[in-house]
Structure 1
Amino acid sequence: MKNIDYSLYLVTNRAGKTEEEFITTIEQAILGGVTVVQLREKDLSTGKFYRLASKVKELTSKYDIPLIINDRLDIALAINADGVHVGQSDMPGDIVRSIIGKNKILGISAATIKDTIKAEKDGADYIGSGAIFPTQTKDADCITIDYLKEIVNAVNIPIIAIGGLTEDNIESLVNTNIGGISLVSAIMESNNPKKTVQKLKTEFELL
């Protein structure tokens, strides 16, 4: 399961959508070319999160797309998700790795070279690094493209660029050697998620 294509990494945002619309958006994004889905829910109760995660897992399994659960290790284990993603203020990466074992995917958010190197040592399979551009969906300071390149060169695992990315600004990541781009609003708020992802895929392949 570890030979993962992180090139188009969708982080979900359910705001303003019914459950049916939410699931449909994810499916259309997968049909457009999304390679990884991260389910991110900060304010659902455990029971509701579990039920939603189970439905999303059914969908991603249908298309053989890895499902990563943000932060909630219990939910990830309960639905047998493909992995879990944690931030710097969540459970330490090495502890998460010891719990999920060596076969599950572990992603860690890191915006500094120091944190990135530590995350790799702790067993991360990839790093989510940013924010590249200002974003309303994630409260994070922006990093420069040059610093992103330094982060990429500091470790031997894929770096996924996150934060404010759209089909209009991805070209700024040219020659960074990133392993993928992570998107929220550009896909989840699109009127045509499939078409948007297809455009994003084309843009990424030109980097």
Structure 2
Amino acid sequence: MENDLLKIFSDVKLYVIISSDLIKKPFEEVLHDVIEGGADVIQLREKMMSDAEFLTIAHKARKATAQSKTIFIVNDRAEIARQADADGLHIGQSDIDINTARKILGYNKIIGVSTHHISQARKAQQSGANYVGVGPVFPTATKGYEPSVGWIIYNR
């Protein structure tokens, strides 16, 4: 499954996650600032937003990221990613599986998976994930689960 998008993704240096409940400026302004700041990838993460609202801002994000050639990833919601023509989807351990995501999005899209243990990262890789996110490295108030993994996990 080698295509231009995946080649570009392999050179990513700055991956930014935007969540409207954590920003203090209007969404469009934050999106513009992140793109101008040099983000290679923008993930739109909206846990509490309705599908209709999410789709509206996903279309705005798609338009802006397409113009800037920034990779656009949607968090969790495969149908939103498909409808907004996102470059990919990021899923967690309790979301849909990679095979289902590929059936919804197609096989030329990027699929990323959040992991918290080496075994989860290996399973995601074996299942066809294009990348894994490992963490959290530090304790966080945005997630309510097991302790942070710390830096030691990156040595494995």
TM-score, length of structure 2 as denominator length:
0.88
The residue aligned with 1:44 is 49
Q: Is the 8 A contact 2:76 2:95 kept in 1?
A: yes
Relative contact order, higher structure (CA 8 A, sep 6+)? 1
Which amino acid letter does the alignment assign opposite residue 6 of structure 1?
Answer: V
**Per-residue deviation, 1:139:** 3.1
User: Using a 3 Å threshold, how does the CA distance of structure 1 residues 134 and 46 change in structure 2: closer, same or farther?
Assistant: same
Corresponding position: 1:55 with 2:83: no
Aligned partner of 2:149 among 133, 143, 151:
143
Corresponding position: 1:86 with 2:91: yes
* Cα distance between partner residues in 1 of 2:22 and 2:128: 36
Number of corresponding residues:
149
The residue aligned with 1:66 is 71
**Per-residue deviation, 1:120:** 0.7
**Per-residue deviation, 1:23:** 1.4
Corresponding position: 1:12 with 2:14: no
**Per-residue deviation, 1:101:** 2.4
Which amino acid letter does the alignment assign opposite residue 13 of structure 2?
Answer: S
* Structure 1, gaps ≥5 residues long: 151-207
The residue aligned with 2:100 is 95
* Cα distance between partner residues in 2 of 1:137 and 1:24: 22
What percent identity do the matched residue pairs reach? Answer: 36
Which amino acid letter does the alignment assign opposite residue 72 of structure 1?
Answer: R
The residue aligned with 1:2 is 6
* Cα distance between partner residues in 1 of 2:103 and 2:50: 26
* Cα distance between partner residues in 2 of 1:98 and 1:106: 12
Which amino acid letter does the alignment assign opposite residue 123 of structure 1?
Answer: G
User: Using a 3 Å threshold, how does the CA distance of structure 1 residues 139 and 33 change in structure 2: closer, same or farther?
Assistant: farther
The residue aligned with 1:125 is 130
* Cα distance between partner residues in 2 of 1:32 and 1:100: 29
**Per-residue deviation, 1:59:** 0.8
TM-score, length of structure 1 as denominator length:
0.67
* Cα distance between partner residues in 2 of 1:29 and 1:48: 21
The residue aligned with 1:108 is 113
Corresponding position: 1:32 with 2:37: yes
* Structure 2, gaps ≥5 residues long: none
The residue aligned with 1:77 is 82
The residue aligned with 1:194 is none
